[in-house]
Structure 1
Amino acid sequence: MKHKIALLADVHGNATALKAVIEDSMKESVTEYWFLGDLIMPGPGSNDLFEMLESINVDTYVQGNWEDSFLDVLNKNIDIDNATDIYVSRLVQYQCENLDENYIKHIKNLPLQIIKQVNDLSISISHNLQNKNYGGDLWPTNNQEQFDRLFDREYDIAIYAHTHHQLLRYSSNDQLIINPGTVGQPFYKWNKLNSDLRAQYAILEIDEAGIAEVRFKKVSYDVEKELKNAISKNLPYIDLYRELLETGKTHTHDIELLREINDKYNYNDDVIKFIEKI
């Protein structure tokens, strides 16, 4: 049986980019969809993102580090003196004001890893490592030993996300490794490549003989429309989101800048009140 699988990851609240990718994938006659985590935040997308995934019958969804951060805040596992924690917590507050309860429950039940059997191939699916959805372990330029950690069992293919870089490489034993890139938050450290911030995804085709094709795709979307959507929905940290959309640059760990913004908009007070209520 032939399987044509769209691999999607790292939407980060960008509903406009996700819609464009789904529309493109439909032209490719994709038969199934797998999602590798980080659906929400820091963009404004909420229920609409989950509804889009439901519309294409996504049956494989693993927990990303941003889903993990979402749950940390709900569990009050934050430091209110840390500007990054305030940033993430204020975004979680925004999501809780917009997300249906059933989607919050869905996030709570996501696994770190899913193992799929497609024809005769065993496939590991995780956001980063199988037991760790955060950190820089699998950055594309890391050494081979790091990537071999994806194969704690004898999988034929390991698919991961998290780094926002499309990648195809092999383990030391010649097992296939795929990263589909990011739908909503592309970036490159090399300036000339960073001028191309189209939405990314990949298509994995498996037939009776084995792996027929791995294809990386980029899809244009209306960045201005996404920005207007964020403004109309009163997204916190809107200037940071504008910069992210236009340049790919993030400030998640820029403590000084975040502290300045938090003070300006009284986000610390918002978060304290929010945490007291949950």
Structure 2
Amino acid sequence: MIQIAVFSDVHGNLPALEVVLNDIEKRGIRQKFCLGDLVDFAPWGNEVIEKIRSLNIPCLMGNHDERIAFDIPVVPLSKHSEEETNARFVAIDHSKKHISEPNKKFLAELPFHLKLNYKTGNKHWNIQLVHSSLESNDTYLYESENDEVFNAMLERADADLMVMGHTHLSFKKQFENDTWAVNCGSVGRSKEENRLASYLVLTLDEEKITPEIVQLSYPIDETVRQIKESGIPDYYASFLKNENVLIL
């Protein structure tokens, strides 16, 4: 049996990341992977990057990582309210000013996606890791997406299971050919009603893959306090407290 932990979308929320990493450690899981979006929306962007670097956790380049690494302009999204649009501009500008140059270089060198192969007994399992899809790190694929979309991605990747993040909404979908599409949710900026820190544990044996979504409470009030004391808009503190903020 092999166990793998996969997490995504930390978004500068160091207290949430530390709770997730501690839980992984308690479970004795040594194989850890991050699907990206280390920065934006909470004030510990540098500390999160440095934690990932110090632990040598393989990490993908999320869309927010790419924007900060290469100073890509922010484009308003039609799905966002005017309040969120304004907050987003300020929050991302905060990251561009405060993420150190060595950490920007680290983000710039992250891989776009990663293919894993694990052998258990006589069985080889192919696991495809992406931030959002094979082609893009900014595609929104939800649980409601047609199965054909996920099956096409799995076939193209020649994978038994594909793990993604990006939407901040976890799900598990198993298909007729025993393949899986799984979203591991978000560590630091969950859009689920409970706002818990979410990650994925994969258990591999010779017969099957078993995905488990783990959701954990963390000192959210500390993150909220630090956001309010930083130059990041209070919108993101209210979001984490689920205080009359529209989820999109």
Find out whether 1:52 has 2:38 as its counterpart.
Answer: no
Encode CA deviations 1:220-278: one digit per residue, 9 max, x unaligned: 1111111122233x2321x201211111876798xxxxxxxxxxxxxxxxxxxxxxxxx
Q: Could you say if the C-alpha distance between residues 77 and 161 of structure 1 is closer, same or farther in structure 2, counting changes exceeding 3 Å?
A: closer
- 2:191 counterpart residue number: 187
Separation in 2, partners of 1:199, 1:32 = 19
* Local SS of the residue matching 2:16: helix
Residue equivalent to 2:210: 213
Kept in 1, the 8 Å contact 2:170–2:213? The answer is: yes
How many angstroms apart in 2 are the aligned matches of 1:15 and 1:134? 23
How many angstroms apart in 2 are the aligned matches of 1:166 and 1:155? Answer: 19
Q: May I ask how many residue pairs the two structures share in their alignment?
A: 238
Structure 1 counterpart of 2:144: 141
Q: CA deviation at 1:96?
A: 3.4
Q: 2-side partners of 1:76 and 1:57: how far apart?
A: 29
**1:164 equivalent in alignment to 2:168:** yes
1:240 is the counterpart of 2:235? yes
Structure of greater Rg: 1
Q: Would you say 1:63 and 2:61 are equivalent positions?
A: yes
Confirm or deny: 8 A CA contact 1:63 1:127 kept in the other structure.
yes
Deviation of residue 145 (structure 1)?
Answer: 1.7
Instruction: Provide the rounded CA distance (Å) in 1 between the counterparts of 2:187 and 2:243.
Output: 12
Aligned partner of 1:9 in structure 2 is 8
Aligned mates of 1:242, 1:170 — CA distance in 2: 35
1:4/1:174 Cα in 2 relative to 1: closer, same or farther (>3 Å)? closer
Q: TM-score if structure 2 supplies the norm length?
A: 0.84
Q: Identify the match of residue 227 of structure 2 among 222, 225, 230.
A: 230
What is the letter of the counterpart of residue 225 of structure 2? K
**Distance in structure 2 (CA, Å) of the matches to 1:165 and 1:4:** 22
Question: Which runs of 5 or more structure 2 residues have no equivalent in the other structure?
Answer: 77-81
**Does the Cα contact within 8 Å between 1:32 and 1:57 map onto a contact in 2?**
no
Q: In 2 relative to 1, CA 44–3 (structure 1 residues): closer, same or farther, beyond 3 Å?
A: same
Residue 77 of structure 1: how far off its partner (Å): 7.0
- Deviation sequence 1:50-100 (CA, Å, 0-9, x none): 1222343302x112222233346x145768xxx777654533332233322
Kindly indicate whether residue 206 of structure 2 is the aligned counterpart of residue 203 of structure 1: no
For structure 1, the 5+ residue unaligned runs are 189-193, 254-278
What residue identity is the alignment partner of 1:31?
R
- Cα distance in 1 between the residues matched to 2:46 and 2:56: 15
CA distance in 2, matches of 1:65, 1:220: 26
Contact 1:69/1:88 (CA < 8 Å) preserved in 2?
no
